Structure 1
């Protein structure tokens, strides 16, 4: 894939299920894992993966061998339940994926294990078939809700012992069986995995977005991976405390954004604590303003003029997908993003998702006699490009489909920067374990 071909010092390999728009796949490859296979069900997401270099196999064709280092990544488009990965047994370092989160999402009906969209069993099937050295699994924080606690514990135990067949047992009966087996040493340590489960906020890892998730990482027991080292490597790097401190008068944040109007700066400063919190030694959270201005090598995105809120690609400053969309509204329960905070969680909706996640306040004041003070801040919908930056996708990543489908793909994705932290940590501890066993 175009963006993924960054090369790696060691030919480690990966498989990506539920690949979506490619966020976690990109993160895993940047960490040095060469992709051997992608699988995705959604039509538009498959088009996105193909547009960025994956080679979609003809419908009904199944891969029979792993691609070489200079070959394109095969994409199997379709139901993961029809996928046979036995041919990859013993060739995969990391299996990664975010099983569909709707069964456990706070924004959905939350049927959990009763929901046919629950794809955790397919992750376990993949582990059985390929016996990867490590597994990275991302999902919504809703898994930690009390109503799902027992089932989430069951998911973790099943990932630890994926070769314990469930048969005709209910999940409750199988959970009891797994707890009994967990107390026994396995006959073959290659068939047992050791887990690290972490609730995370993507903002704590350099993502300009509040995005609370659960990440589960499993290591094959025979490798004797140092999980304590892994936990050290995935500690948060950014904090709200550091952002607040950087917003002190003439602080680093304002020096980075010298053109913020005084009235905006005063509004933001007025909400800061009267007593500055102690320095925690971390970097400041990135904000939506940071994302638009450009983090790292990204160039600033221009604002969209009012006359170009017309659903038309004007290629502002040469950027694609920076398209203005009319009709943004603010009302009770549908409040906008503010530029000087991390963005709200990007959701898999179009532009009318509950909460106003795709609307943002601008810096410009306009007269409005209906509001206190007679003036309000302008607002508009975020563009697809702005949303992609909030998800830390590179500007070169080619998203396919109409606006709604692109926003859906982004809302379902794993932020690249978040996935990269965990994937790099997996690579490091695998290297360390293999060196120790020489």
Structure 2
């Protein structure tokens, strides 16, 4: 199945889509450094991006009529700064709001499905009116905004159309907040996903179920001690249950249901076989370079090694949020290297990033974790394939 990737950034969602079996007809991204990351990996013949048709353009100028009509899925992460907790909170007033372009792509390509990702902040109470507007536009992309029409007027027109019950939505659209840690990514990263299936397809789909849990991690650390054994660490750590977990551990003790899922993966899991770049600067690993200057301050204390990392941030100025660092076993802190951050975002180790530390960390902070993208994309492709197979006539019917 062929797909189009919008606002591709560093390629996390696009690689996940590729891993799920989609072939990109176009990968669209305006940031030069992100596009150089793609090109550099293509020069190195990195499997993840081999053959990608990369377009370094503003999505607002891209001509979708230049593509063939067999696009099955449109995916992308519209720039999240208008809605992020660390942004300016201007929503539709922010010129970086690219949801109108996401809707335009759906309207002009009419794919079988689409997958869009954004920050959890999009669902904050202050943004609910605009959130509902995005949802309605994705359900009825063919009802476009008229010239000079304000978005609130357009939303009203969409609401009237939706409530009339005369026509079914063009796309059945579901949204949900997914925590990457619940799907085996070593990072607590909550993001909202919009997934739409064209209503005439007749496909049934639901969000994938969680595969990992915090409860299983707590059991492995504070009840059976298997986590410490895996990492060959002193079990005496078991006697230091953090106060915030004590009550939860007590409730989990003897609860067999808590073991149905795999345990959350931790920062230590992700960095396990990487040498300390400060001790081994000539380690020969791409993007694994020590960056000095890490320090803690109020609200920014770094990630704990034995929990999933805190959300990697792209940042608005200088150091990305001051939070892209972790606490070492000796209590000192240091910044994640680009390679370590890539591990937290589940990029393949062969994938290299172009630009300075701040530029590449910005790419990573904006990225969709590859593994999470793959999980969502596979659930969509499986639903579409099942629907297609159900519509095919059986061999017996063909013979007749």
One fold, TM greater than 0.5?
yes
- What is the aligned partner in structure 1 of residue 209 from structure 2? 235
- What is the aligned partner in structure 1 of residue 397 from structure 2? none
Q: Does 1:160 align with 2:133?
A: no
Spell out the pairing of 1:387-398 with structure 2 (5 A cutoff): 387-398=341-352
Separation in structure 2 between the aligned mates of residue 262 and residue 332 of structure 1, nearest angstrom? 31
- Where structure 1 has 5 or more consecutive residues not aligned to the other structure, the ranges are 1-11, 56-69, 294-299, 309-313, 365-376
- What is the aligned partner in structure 2 of residue 27 from structure 1? 16
Separation in structure 2 between the aligned mates of residue 204 and residue 420 of structure 1, nearest angstrom? 14
Scaled by the length of structure 2, the TM-score of the pair is 0.89
Query: How many angstroms does 1:437 deviate by?
Result: 2.2
Q: Secondary structure at the match of 1:319?
A: coil
Deviations 1:214-233 (A, max 9, x none): 00000111101113xx33xx
Check 1:270–1:336 CA distance in 2 against 1; reply closer, same or farther (3 A cut).
Answer: same
Q: Does 1:201 align with 2:208?
A: no
Q: Are 1:135 and 1:219, in contact at CA under 8 Å, matched by a contact in 2? A: yes
Q: Are 2:76 and 2:117, in contact at CA under 8 Å, matched by a contact in 1? A: yes
Q: Does 1:213 align with 2:202?
A: no
The partner residue of 1:418 within 363, 369, 372 is 372
Q: Secondary structure at the match of 1:196?
A: strand
Check 1:394–1:351 CA distance in 2 against 1; reply closer, same or farther (3 A cut).
Answer: farther
Separation in structure 2 between the aligned mates of residue 157 and residue 363 of structure 1, nearest angstrom? 49
Query: How many angstroms does 1:341 deviate by?
Result: 0.8
Query: How many angstroms does 1:42 deviate by?
Result: 0.6
The partner residue of 1:88 within 67, 91, 94 is 67
- What is the aligned partner in structure 2 of residue 171 from structure 1? 151
Spell out the pairing of 1:103-142 with structure 2 (5 A cutoff): 103-142=82-121
Q: Secondary structure at the match of 2:328?
A: strand
Q: Secondary structure at the match of 1:102?
A: coil
Separation in structure 2 between the aligned mates of residue 324 and residue 177 of structure 1, nearest angstrom? 54
- What is the aligned partner in structure 2 of residue 52 from structure 1? 41
- Where structure 2 has 5 or more consecutive residues not aligned to the other structure, the ranges are 393-400
Query: How many angstroms does 1:85 deviate by?
Result: 0.7
RMSD (CA atoms): 2.2
Deviations 1:290-331 (A, max 9, x none): 1011xxxxxx1112345x6xxxxx442x32111111111123
Q: Are 2:3 and 2:25, in contact at CA under 8 Å, matched by a contact in 1? A: yes
Separation in structure 2 between the aligned mates of residue 140 and residue 214 of structure 1, nearest angstrom? 6
Q: Does 1:252 align with 2:226?
A: yes
- What is the aligned partner in structure 1 of residue 308 from structure 2? 342
Q: Are 2:73 and 2:113, in contact at CA under 8 Å, matched by a contact in 1? A: yes
Separation in structure 2 between the aligned mates of residue 119 and residue 270 of structure 1, nearest angstrom? 43
Check 1:269–1:102 CA distance in 2 against 1; reply closer, same or farther (3 A cut).
Answer: closer
- What is the aligned partner in structure 2 of residue 41 from structure 1? 30
Q: Are 1:330 and 1:336, in contact at CA under 8 Å, matched by a contact in 2? A: yes
Aligned residues: 380
Deviations 1:375-416 (A, max 9, x none): xx1221111111110011111101101111110000010000
Q: Are 1:80 and 1:122, in contact at CA under 8 Å, matched by a contact in 2? A: yes
Query: How many angstroms does 1:248 deviate by?
Result: 2.7
Query: How many angstroms does 1:263 deviate by?
Result: 6.6
Separation in structure 1 between the aligned mates of residue 338 and residue 84 of structure 2, nearest angstrom? 23
Spell out the pairing of 1:377-396 with structure 2 (5 A cutoff): 377-396=331-350
Query: How many angstroms does 1:179 deviate by?
Result: 1.4
Query: How many angstroms does 1:345 deviate by?
Result: 0.5
The partner residue of 1:76 within 55, 63, 66 is 55
Check 1:100–1:409 CA distance in 2 against 1; reply closer, same or farther (3 A cut).
Answer: same
Query: How many angstroms does 1:177 deviate by?
Result: 1.0
Separation in structure 1 between the aligned mates of residue 129 and residue 88 of structure 2, nearest angstrom? 18
Separation in structure 2 between the aligned mates of residue 263 and residue 411 of structure 1, nearest angstrom? 35
Q: Secondary structure at the match of 2:8?
A: coil
- What is the aligned partner in structure 2 of residue 15 from structure 1? 4
- What is the aligned partner in structure 2 of residue 145 from structure 1? 124
Spell out the pairing of 1:96-107 with structure 2 (5 A cutoff): 96-107=75-86
Separation in structure 1 between the aligned mates of residue 165 and residue 41 of structure 2, nearest angstrom? 45
Scaled by the length of structure 1, the TM-score of the pair is 0.82
